[in-house]
Structure 1
Amino acid sequence: MFTGIIETLGKVKNIEKEKENVHITVESSITDELKIDQSVAHNGVCLTVVEINGDEYVVTAIKETIDKTNIGDLQINDIVNLERAMKLGDRLDGHIVQGHVDEVGVCKNIQDEQGSTVFTFEYDSKSANLTIEKGSITVNGVSLTVVNSKKHEFSVAIIPYTLEHTTFKNFEVGTKINLEFDVLGKYVTKLHSLQN
């Protein structure tokens, strides 16, 4: 379980394919606090630490994860958002995030506003996922509030601190992003579909 509050950024140092799996080596400032078998969200994708070497650690992504997220697009020197799983009793500063990406979306527009930057994203028009105005959404692991919710499209307003301390600073129109929709909304959608 995560909160969507990014702890730090990591840098991809190596990518090694083994059959259908991919081993990703990440350098980060929190490596010395990690342990083997620990869950860490990478751009919102929950992956398990399998090896630690100095200030670098290794996680493994399986085929399903690669197919359903943007993890397979990572390249050496790419920057990723990192968050360790929350501790029981911690404050939930973001919202309930599982680290299970629902689908990949695409950045459609970036607009500078007075004091913030508005990013607009679109996602699969055949998807049953939805957003609501002022609801929660996780974009590349970042817990955000939805503005301008439309069918298969939404926007988020990013303050300068979040822009500087997450991968949002590297987004361009066309950037693929991981989306995890609000878990409560997913249950409501599922219940509704079962009743119809």
Structure 2
Amino acid sequence: MFTGIVEEMGTVRRLTKTPGRCELELTASKVLEGTKIGDSIAVSGVCLTVISMDADGFTADVMPETLRRSNLGTLKPGSMVNLERAMAADGRFGGHIVAGHIDGTGKIQSMQPEGNAMLVTIGATSELLRYVVEKGSIAIDGISLTVAKVTHSNFTVSLIPHTGEETTLLKHRPGEIVNLETDIIGKYVEKLMKPTTDLPETNKITMEFLAENGF
């Protein structure tokens, strides 16, 4: 589990692809503190398991499903990524609940200054946008951000200067692809309201059930 508060930016050393497997090697410093083999680190929002480490970096496996869902397959040596260690039980919860499981990708459409902030508009499919709500949370390349506006084809977030400086988002250009993870709570609510047809009738949540229980 992560919070979407990026701890540092790392750099891709090597991306090795073989049939059915991809290995990603990254330079890092802060996220190595207290980390051991088997721990999880979010790489631009993708939860990856550390399989080896050295003094200034770590290596992780990337599954085919992850390559299909995210932009990790487009990385190359020198690419910068956002890094965050898994949330500590005794730490502050500064962002929102981020699982590190990418729902899909979006395409940056525009970047527009607004005062000291930067408005970033990202195009996405209707399947993703159904879970994006104004003033709700979304993780973009692992960055916890608040949605400022949503339309039928895109959404807009606003970055303060600190977030712009400490993450990779403003290093992108219009047309580039970013990883998106929508709010997991919305997906669970939808699942409960529209359960699969093979569930027993008594396990289904209905409008009558909600009314009887004060909702």
TM-score range for the pair, normalised by the shorter chain length:
over 0.9
Preserved contact between residue 130 and residue 151 of structure 1 (Cα < 8 Å): no
Q: Gapped runs of 5+ residues in structure 1?
A: none
1:26 and 2:26 are equivalent in the alignment? yes
* Residue aligned with 2:110, SS: strand
| Structure 1 equivalent of residue 7 of structure 2 | 7
Q: CA deviation at 1:152?
A: 3.9
> Structure 1 residues 2, 193: closer, same or farther in 2, change over 3 A?
same
Q: Which amino acid aligns with 1:15?
A: L
Count of residues in Structure 1 that have an aligned counterpart in Structure 2: 196
> Structure 1 residues 151, 130: closer, same or farther in 2, change over 3 A?
farther
Q: CA deviation at 1:120?
A: 0.4
**Alignment RMSD, CA only?**
1.6
Q: How does 1:29-178 map to 2 (within 5 A)?
A: 29-30=29-30, 31-127=32-128, 129-178=130-179
Counterparts of 2:128 and 2:142 in 1: how far apart (Å)? 20
Q: CA deviation at 1:127?
A: 4.5
Amino-acid identity (%): 38
Which deviates the most, 29-38 or 85-94?
29-38
Question: 4+ residue runs of structure 1 moved beyond 2 angstroms?
Answer: 30-34, 125-130, 188-196
Higher relative contact order (CA 8 A, sep 6+): 1
* Residue aligned with 1:146, SS: strand
TM-score normalised by the chain length of structure 1: 0.94
Instruction: After superposition, give the CA deviation of every residue in 1:97-141 in whole Å (9 maximum; x if it has no partner).
Output: 000000111111110111100000111135574211100101000
Counterparts of 2:125 and 2:28 in 1: how far apart (Å)? 33
Q: Pick the structure with greater CA Rg.
A: 2
Q: Gapped runs of 5+ residues in structure 2?
A: 196-205, 208-215
Instruction: After superposition, give the CA deviation of every residue in 1:138-180 in whole Å (9 maximum; x if it has no partner).
Output: 1000001001122241100001110011001211111101110
* Residue aligned with 1:99, SS: coil
